[in-house]
Structures are given as structure tokens and as C-alpha cells.
A and B are shown apart, each in its own frame.
Chain A
């Protein structure tokens, strides 16, 4: 077993250990029912994440150095994303509205990401089928971030779009180029931008938590950083994968705090923000 596998196993155990108290805590919130319906979905989502982690951990131990074939951990991950999506749909309630701009961006961005996954793994059906929950959640987040006014300025929103599209372009160049220098530049560049976006989103989360912004904004931001870091793990390999996994683990407690922030909030408070 190589040191990268040991490190991965350690990080997976850490993530699983962090998720267990979160499941217990959100199950308590679910029973109290004061935070609305979202904690119920979130509890089931975290249970799916825990089982997915446990399965990957056992795979690391039982079959080290083997590439994992299509198996249940992907189903558990998709179930987690679908449960979070269903929770967000329930949270938005009557305020649900069709946002073509957000939908178009999500479809184009995620389709390009899925195409890159296919180019890397060669698993057509699997990547398309299991990419759909990512598309759905990404659309809900892009729409939700607009609704909660997570972007301070139009320039900030544009910068987020340019940076995320930039990574896709760099990854595409890496696939087609045969020049080693160009490949290395693109590789380092895409990691720098990916982790730059992560740092930026973490900063926005910190500000939102510190300012005690209303719960829905913090929730959307925290789920966005979680999904983003999950996507970063997919584009990373070797030591970069473990770094991305560690950062992804860090975002889970932030989500939990955001779910707790939903306490005592009503639709009126959110609508008040919308109208202000």
C-alpha cells in the first residue's frame, strides 16, 4: 500500500468521523422540526455520504492500488446530491422560478465537465447517467445564489464564470496538447485557479457566517463550496486528489453550521431580503 493510498484512507476515515456527529446533530434538528424540512433531507444525504466514504475506505484497504469499478459508492454519492437538491427545492417552496440564464450556463458548464470525465475515464453511460444529479444540483445552486444575492457585484459574478470556464479550457488543452511544457503550465494553472475559487468561496462563507447573514444565503454558499470542492477532487490526481479531499472534508462542518442557521427562519424573512 503506497503512501498516497494510506493518506487517502486516513482522509476518508476523517471525513466519515466528521460526518457521524453531524448526522446525529441534524437528526436532532429534524426531530425538533424548527428548522423546516431541509434538515430531514440533509440527514439522509449525510448518511449516504458516510456510507460512500465507508465503502471507499474498505476498498482502499481490501484492494489497494486497484481502480474502483462502477459500484455502490457512486449511487450513494448521487443519492446524496439528489437529497440535497430535493431539500433545496423544498426550501425554495413557492419562490421557485425558471431562470433560463442559470439553466443555460449550468447545462453548458456541466456538459463540458462530463465530456472531460468521459475523455479521461472512457465510461460513457456511467458518466452521463451519474452526471445528471450534478447538473440538477448545480442549476439549483446557480439559481439560488442569484436569489439570495450571494454575489456582491456583477463583476464578481462575471469573475466566477470566467475562472470556472478557464479551468475547463485548460483541462481541454491538457487533453489535446503533446507539448510537455504546455501540459505542465496548464496543469499547475488549473489547480491554482480551482483552489483560488475554493479560497474565495470559503472567504464568502466566512463572511456570511460572521455577519450572521440570513440562513438561506449561508446555506447556498456552503453547498456551493462543497459541490465545487467535490468537482475539484474529480479533476485532481495523486497528491492533489488528497489535498482536494481534505478541503472537501473541511466544507462539511460549514454546511452543518449553515443548516443550524436555518433555525427559526420563516419564508417572510427571506422574502423580506428579496424585496429589500
Chain B
């Protein structure tokens, strides 16, 4: 058993102090990274509670329900930031990436602490697949939210649509890796493939928007 709260305190204290010495987008990134870690802890609490009341086993909860809970917990800080600060597209992406990586980092820390880190292959897979999966789902979510704003369809149903996109991506990964065999490898490839598809699309699009924006 590990004490997740203690792990969180241990990682966040230097980052919180670092916030005092940072400015602009670096500060925004570290703050969103911290929000991502907090969201991960809260998702674990909610997941544990739902597992208890739903009567589903730990494995089924992890496969079927945790994508729903985790993506909602990751959406909330993004939505909060979007509604309160009305950020530019690049800033929204930066915050989404910060939350995704913060979430993935804390989840990986807890997982490795509880299961051990002896096998390098296992740690590499864990880092490069699960970590990337949280990042990709957050980038997809922020792109979805951005498109909703751009086409003036930023409504509750639109937000649920974008959220379902991230949830289904996450749940598809969980389902694929839940059984050993060829599907596991397909599951491992999915986040990396998602990252490869999203990277050029996102940066090409944002780059174009930046070019069009008049210089101040």
C-alpha cells in the first residue's frame, strides 16, 4: 500500500515553490501540471467510491468506468480555465498538455511505487504508452473544445460530444490492453499513433492561426 497523498505532497512542494520564480506560459504550464496531479488523486477517490457502490470488480471498474471518471476530472480544470480566462488557442493547448502530463506523471508514480520498477521494459511501456495516452486524450479534448468555440457551437451538448471523444479514446485503449495477445499490442500502439496523427494537425493549424493574427 502506498500513501498517494504523501507522494503528491512530495512532488508538488518544489513545483509550488517554483511557481514563484516563473512567469508567463512557464508558470501556466507548471500550474496546470499541478492541477493534473490533483485531478488524478481526485479521480482515484471517486473511482474507489464508485467501485464500492456499483459492485463491479476492481478490474471491470478500471476497464469500463475509470476512463469516464478520469476524463471528467481532467475536463473540469480545462473547462474552468476556458470559461474564466477565455484563453487563446495556444494557451488552451498548453494548459491541456500540462494537465494531461501532470495526470499521467502522478498516475505513473503511484503505479510504479506500488508495483515496483525492476523491469525496464515494463517501465518503458508504462511511461511511453499510458503517459502518452493521457496526453493525447487531453490534446484531442482541447482541439475539440477549440473547434466548438470556432464554429460557435460551444454548448453543453458540444462539450459532452468533445468529452465523449476523449473518453472513448481512453476506454478503447483500456479495453484493448485488458486481454493479453495481439490486441494488447494494438492497444500499446494506439496512443502513439494518436500522438503522431495529432501532432502535425494541431501545430499546422495553430501555426496558421498565429500567422493570421495581427502583430501587436
Residues of A within 8 A of B (CB): 30, 37, 40-41, 44-45, 47-48, 51-52, 54-55, 58-59, 61-63, 69-73, 75-76, 78-80, 82-83, 85-86, 90
User: Is B77 an interface position by the 8 A CB rule?
Assistant: no
Query: Are A79 and B163 in contact (CB-based, < 8 A)?
Result: yes
Q: Which residues of B contact A58 (CB under 8 A)?
A: 172, 175-176, 183
27 contacts between A and B (CB under 8 A): A44-B153, A47-B161, A51-B164, A55-B171, A55-B175, A62-B178, A62-B179, A62-B183, A63-B179, A71-B64, A72-B64, A72-B164, A72-B167, A75-B68, A75-B160, A75-B167, A76-B164, A76-B168, A78-B160, A79-B157, A79-B161, A79-B163, A80-B161, A82-B161, A83-B157, A83-B158, A86-B153
Query: Are B151 and A37 in contact (CB-based, < 8 A)?
Result: yes
Interface hits, B134-165 → A, CB 8 Å = 144, 148, 151-153, 155-158, 160-165
Q: Which residues of A contact B81 (CB under 8 A)?
A: none
Q: Which residues of B contact A69 (CB under 8 A)?
A: 56, 60, 64
Query: Are A37 and B179 in contact (CB-based, < 8 A)?
Result: no
Q: Which residues of A contact B164 (CB under 8 A)?
A: 48, 51, 72, 75-76, 78-79
Residues of B within 8 A of A (CB): 56, 60, 64-65, 67-68, 144, 148, 151-153, 155-158, 160-165, 167-172, 175-176, 178-179, 183
Q: Which residues of B contact A70 (CB under 8 A)?
A: 64-65
Chain B residue with the shortest CB-CB distance to A47 = B165
Q: Which residues of B contact A79 (CB under 8 A)?
A: 157, 160-161, 163-164
Query: Are A52 and B168 in contact (CB-based, < 8 A)?
Result: yes
Interface SS, A side: helix
Query: Are B175 and A59 in contact (CB-based, < 8 A)?
Result: yes
Interface centre among A30, A41, A51, A71, by most chain B C-beta atoms within 10 angstroms, is A71
Smallest CB separation, A84 vs chain B (Å): 9
Q: Which residues of A contact B144 (CB under 8 A)?
A: 44
Smallest CB separation, B194 vs chain A (Å): 12
Q: Which residues of B contact A47 (CB under 8 A)?
A: 161, 165
Smallest CB separation, A158 vs chain B (Å): 32
Chain B residue with the shortest CB-CB distance to A63 = B179
Chain B residue with the shortest CB-CB distance to A136 = B157
User: Which among B60, B153, B161 is the interface contact of A37 at CB below 8 angstroms?
Assistant: B153
Smallest CB separation, A59 vs chain B (Å): 6
Query: Are B169 and A51 in contact (CB-based, < 8 A)?
Result: yes
Interface centre among A30, A37, A44, A61, by most chain B C-beta atoms within 10 angstroms, is A44
Shortest 6 CB-CB distances between A and B: which pairs?
A82-B157, A51-B168, A79-B164, A86-B157, A72-B171, A40-B151
Q: Which residues of A contact B152 (CB under 8 A)?
A: 37
Smallest CB separation, B118 vs chain A (Å): 29
Q: Whole-angstrom distance between the alpha carbons of A73 and B172 in the complex? A: 10
Q: Told that A72-B171, A83-B157 touch, could you supply 18 new A-B pairs with CB distance under 8 A?
A: A37-B153, A45-B161, A52-B168, A58-B172, A71-B171, A72-B167, A72-B168, A73-B168, A75-B68, A76-B168, A78-B164, A79-B163, A79-B164, A82-B156, A82-B157, A86-B153, A86-B158, A90-B153
Query: Are A62 and B176 in contact (CB-based, < 8 A)?
Result: yes
Query: Are A48 and B175 in contact (CB-based, < 8 A)?
Result: no
* Contact of A86 with B172 at beta-carbon distance under 8 Å, contacts A75-B167, A76-B164, A79-B161 already known: no
Q: Which residues of B contact A37 (CB under 8 A)?
A: 151-153
Chain A residue with the shortest CB-CB distance to B151 = A40
Q: Which residues of A contact B175 (CB under 8 A)?
A: 55, 58-59, 62-63
Interface centre among A40, A45, A59, A79, by most chain B C-beta atoms within 10 angstroms, is A79
Chain B residue with the shortest CB-CB distance to A81 = B157
* Contact of A54 with B151 at beta-carbon distance under 8 Å, contacts A62-B183, A83-B157, A86-B158 already known: no
Query: Are A48 and B165 in contact (CB-based, < 8 A)?
Result: yes
Q: Whole-angstrom distance between the alpha carbons of A213 and B168 in the complex? A: 37
Interface centre among B60, B152, B164, B176, by most chain A C-beta atoms within 10 angstroms, is B164
Q: Whole-angstrom distance between the alpha carbons of A72 and B171 in the complex? A: 7
Q: Which residues of B contact A51 (CB under 8 A)?
A: 164-165, 168-169, 172
Q: Which residues of A contact B56 (CB under 8 A)?
A: 69
Q: Which residues of B contact A73 (CB under 8 A)?
A: 168
Query: Are B64 and A48 in contact (CB-based, < 8 A)?
Result: no
Interface centre among A47, A72, A82, by most chain B C-beta atoms within 10 angstroms, is A72
Q: Which residues of B contact A55 (CB under 8 A)?
A: 168, 171-172, 175
Q: Whole-angstrom distance between the alpha carbons of A178 and B68 in the complex? A: 40
Smallest CB separation, A83 vs chain B (Å): 5
